[in-house]
Amino acid sequence: MFSSRVLGQGRVSGRNISRVGCWGWIALQKLDLELNVAVGSQSWVSGWVQARVLGSCPDSAKTPPRPRAFLLPVTKDASTKQYVTTIYQRTPLVPVKLTIDLGQRFLWVDCEKGYVSKSYKPVRCGSIPCKRSLSGACVESCVGPPSPGCNNNTCSHTPYNPFIRTSTGGELAQDVVSLQSTDGSNPRKYLSTNGVVFDCAPHSLLEGLAKGVKGILGLGNGYVGFPTQLANAFSVPRKFAICLTSSTTSRGVIFFGDSPYVFLPGMDYSKRLVYTPLLKNPVSTSGSYYEGEPSTDYFIGVAFIKIHSIVVPINTTLLNITKDGKGGTKISTVEPYTKLETSIYNALTKAFVGALANVPMMKPVAPFKVCYNKTSLGSNQVGPGVPPIELVLRNKNATTYTSWFIWGANSMVTVNNDVVCFGFVDGGVEFEPTSIVIGTHQIEDNLLQFDIANKRLGFTSSLLFDEITCANFNFTTKA
């Protein structure tokens, strides 16, 4: 329910607006309305009120159509290889630069230094947002004056920095967030919603993050993950898509909701996605969690791996998720290169080297163990001339398969002008506990759609076949 103050003549409730008729509605549009929006609602366009208008009105008097999708530009930080974006948060709105963590539970920001907002609201113990966050702690009394991050009777959680593997306690809160809407081809107007849950972290937790970053944007698969919160606030589908550019001088994009994914010169990749199920791990794979929390990472079912159509001999039991949360394959924006459990790494490396037996190897360059002279490999439109790595993925019925091909641009890493290396690293015998963690290098210039509602991952493999990269989205704003 909302309420509006009309030229000092009292309050007009949402129930009554539907009765004012067409001309009354037009008059209301012209007023400077003061909206008091309930938590979790949204303001579509300043000066418009969401209501059902009885009777027939001209198109100009109708509520504008709701947006189908939103977007965020994404850049690759040259020094850390982290992917960063900027959202607008608080009242008044300010830009907040954030590192993206695909599997993190929620958004967290530094509240210790410079957090000022008239719309900041701590999440109370026992409230619905607190319960949905699966918090296991409550702060009854905070030492110090009331301020963002320090209030009594508040829900507490554990913001986590995966780059330094450190977590702290932090107050859960809610505030306004504003994002650009999109038609899938261009950015559109900024729209705001209040009540977005995030965690307040101390300034010290920013260690190891890219320069200027004030926190982490958690895109995890959970009730307080950023994609689900946006879907609930704006009534758009629970899905998002990422397209990360390999360049540090151009921008990739994240789409939230349902839209085409159009890249210059007009290619719509929403029609070219291939799907595989998203799997749920019953045990948290975060570095910090409360007992009983499931993982909010995105897992897929790799059945086996091929090179040159030949199956790589690996222990396939490592590819399954066990009841205690070990094994399986997840996608990460924290790891720059795909990490493999040692036996999987050794088998894949041996098969890859065998497929290039006639090409002399170079001295390895850490953290890589297999390197080649760039010229000796040659190149094509999808990178160095090496055999593709084929991840064979289980489909929903578990009897058919879908293949995700990793071509040279994503399997090889240029370390200097002359040398390229096999871009996979040995994670150790008891790595993670996840057996395969697909890193950002392997998904650059690929479009990935995380359809949370339908529990599936859509993917394109490399856009380079079309001479397109993730930097080809047109960020020119349309009215």
Q: What is the pLDDT along the chain (479 residues), one digit of tens a residue?
A: 333 333 333 333 333 333 333 333 333 333 333 333 333 444 433 333 333 333 444 444 456 678 899 999 999 999 999 999 999 999 999 999 999 999 999 999 999 999 999 999 999 999 999 999 999 899 999 988 999 999 999 999 999 999 999 999 999 999 999 999 999 999 999 999 999 999 999 999 999 999 999 999 999 999 999 999 999 999 999 999 999 999 999 999 999 999 999 999 999 999 999 999 999 999 999 998 888 899 999 999 999 999 989 999 999 999 999 999 999 999 999 999 999 999 999 999 999 999 999 999 999 999 999 999 999 999 999 999 999 999 999 998 777 899 999 999 999 999 999 999 999 999 987 667 899 999 999 999 999 999 999 999 999 999 999 999 999 999 998 76
Structural tokens at position 436: 């395969």
- Which DSSP letter does residue 186 get? S
The pLDDT score that the predictor gives to residue 152 is 96
| CA dihedral over 96, 99, 100, 105, signed as positive or negative | negative
For the record, the structure tokens of 224 come out as 């307080």
Compute φ and ψ for 193, nearest 5 degrees.
-140, 145
Kind and range of the H or E element at 328? none
Stretch (H or E) spanning 349: helix 342-355
- The pLDDT of residue 62 is 56
Q: Are 478 and 180 in contact (CB under 8 A)?
A: no
CB-CB neighbours of 457 under 10 Å: 23
For 119-260, strand residue ranges (E) read 121-122, 137-139, 154-157, 160-161, 166-167, 170-182, 187-201, 215-218, 239-243, 252-257
Query: CA-CA distance, 168 to 189, in Å (whole number)?
Result: 36
Name the 3-class secondary structure at 470: helix
The reply to whether 69-258 and 267-472 are identical in fold is yes
Q: In whole angstroms, give the CA distance from residue 98 to residue 333.
A: 13
User: The tokens of 351 are what?
Assistant: 């098969």
Which residue has tokens 């290098």? 441
- Its pTM stands at 0.86
* Amino acid present at 312: V
- What are the residue boundaries of the structural domains of the chain, listed by start? 3-61, 69-258, 267-472
* Residue whose C-alpha is closest to residue 134's, from 103, 105, 104: 105
The pLDDT assigned to 402 comes to 95
69-258 CATH: 2.40.70.10
Write down the pLDDT at residue 418. Answer: 94
The strand order across the sheet containing 361-362 reads 361-362, 371-373, 419-422, 412-414
Domain 267-472 has CATH 3.40.50.300: no
Taking a C-beta distance cutoff of 8 angstroms, is the pair 446, 362 a contact?
A: no
Q: Which amino acid is at 49?
A: V
Query: DSSP letters of 87-112?
Result: EEETTTTEEEEEEEETT-SSEEEE-S
Neighbours of 309 (CB within 10 A): 8
What is the identity of the amino acid at 175? D
